């Protein structure tokens, strides 16, 4: 004889057991609702749903017939309606400005310092020419100048590198403005084929500036990284020489 305390195995007996020995009616109703939701969400039961591409396509891309069919489906399918609502929300969230420029500003910069005349020369710049992402000289150019400035887009604002000759060394000031990501961090590494040991690490101050003073001739890697970025938004191989080397 079957032990009434043990759940039966046949479906019809299971139904009777749930009613007699199972959870309270309200818990059972919640279970039924969850079960129905899981069934509707299964891949087999969504076989008739539009593909993701069809779900988000513009009406003119689908044509009148398919567009009307999609609307009827959305009215009857809460899962597709939820998917479309999620997609529309995601469309309103702008991608992280740092993610847009991460690893895009890469290149090599070669400067020569004339300590006697306290001027700098820009000898080489291989920063990329992608529109809106290039750091290009705006003062000094190829000639000699006490200060060389390079500026480029950084997030929704701009980033400026200012190189200044100072008593046989070079000072670097980095400034961001507008809606550039803050707080950002600047790491200075020893140079080489790959970044070497960390020489200095600074976070920007409240005004969005970082100042690295007293760079002597040599090879460096400069990295600028924002608060939510996984990789540097600016990675620059710097060769700092001196006139007469």
DSSP conformational letter for 118: T
Residue pair 128/114 in contact by the 8 Å Cβ criterion: no
* 0.75 surpassed by pTM: no
Count other Cβ atoms within 10 Å, centred on residue 29.
Answer: 11
**pLDDT tens-digit map of 61-108:** 788 888 898 898 888 888 888 888 877 766 555 444 433 333 345 677
CA distances from 102 to 47, 49, 237 (A): 39, 37, 16
SS3 category, 141:
coil
Report the pLDDT averaged over residues 196-214.
91
Residue pair 187/171 in contact by the 8 Å Cβ criterion: no
Least confidently predicted of 51-65, 115-129, 174-188, 194-208:
115-129
Q: Which residue has the higher pLDDT, 45 or 118?
A: 118
CA nearest 154: which of 204, 100, 201? 100
Residue pair 212/200 in contact by the 8 Å Cβ criterion: yes
**pLDDT tens-digit map of 25-65:** 777 677 677 666 656 555 556 677 888 778 888 888 788 88
Domain ranges of the chain: 11-92, 97-242
User: How many whole angstroms separate alpha carbon 97 and alpha carbon 181?
Assistant: 8
Residue pair 98/229 in contact by the 8 Å Cβ criterion: yes
Least confidently predicted of 120-129, 162-171, 227-236:
120-129
In the predicted model, is pLDDT for residue 123 greater than 50?
A: yes
């Amino acid at each position: 004889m079957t032990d009434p305390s043990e759940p039966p195995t046949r479906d019809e007996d299971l139904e009777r057991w749930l009613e007699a020995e199972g959870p309270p009616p309200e818990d059972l109703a919640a279970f039924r609702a969850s079960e129905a939701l899981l069934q509707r969400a299964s891949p087999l039961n969504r076989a008739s749903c539009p593909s993701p591409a069809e779900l988000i396509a513009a009406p003119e891309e689908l044509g009148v017939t398919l567009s009307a069919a999609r609307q009827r489906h959305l009215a009857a399918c809460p899962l597709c309606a939820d998917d479309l609502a999620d997609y529309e929300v995601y469309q309103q969230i702008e991608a992280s400005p740092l993610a847009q420029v991460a690893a895009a500003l890469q290149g090599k910069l070669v400067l020569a310092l004339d300590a006697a005349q306290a001027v700098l020369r820009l000898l080489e710049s291989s920063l990329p020419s992608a529109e809106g992402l290039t750091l290009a000289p705006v003062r000094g150019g190829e000639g000699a100048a006490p200060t060389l400035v390079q500026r480029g887009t950084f997030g929704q604002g701009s980033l400026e590198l200012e190189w200044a000759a100072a008593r046989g060394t070079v000072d670097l000031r980095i400034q961001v403005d507008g809606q550039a990501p803050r707080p950002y961090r600047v790491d200075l590494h020893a140079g080489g084929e790959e970044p070497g040991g960390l020489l200095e690490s600074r976070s920007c101050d409240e005004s969005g500036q970082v100042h690295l003073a007293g760079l002597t001739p040599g090879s460096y890697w400069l990295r600028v990284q924002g608060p939510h970025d996984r990789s540097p938004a600016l990675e620059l191989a710097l060769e700092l020489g001196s006139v007469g080397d």
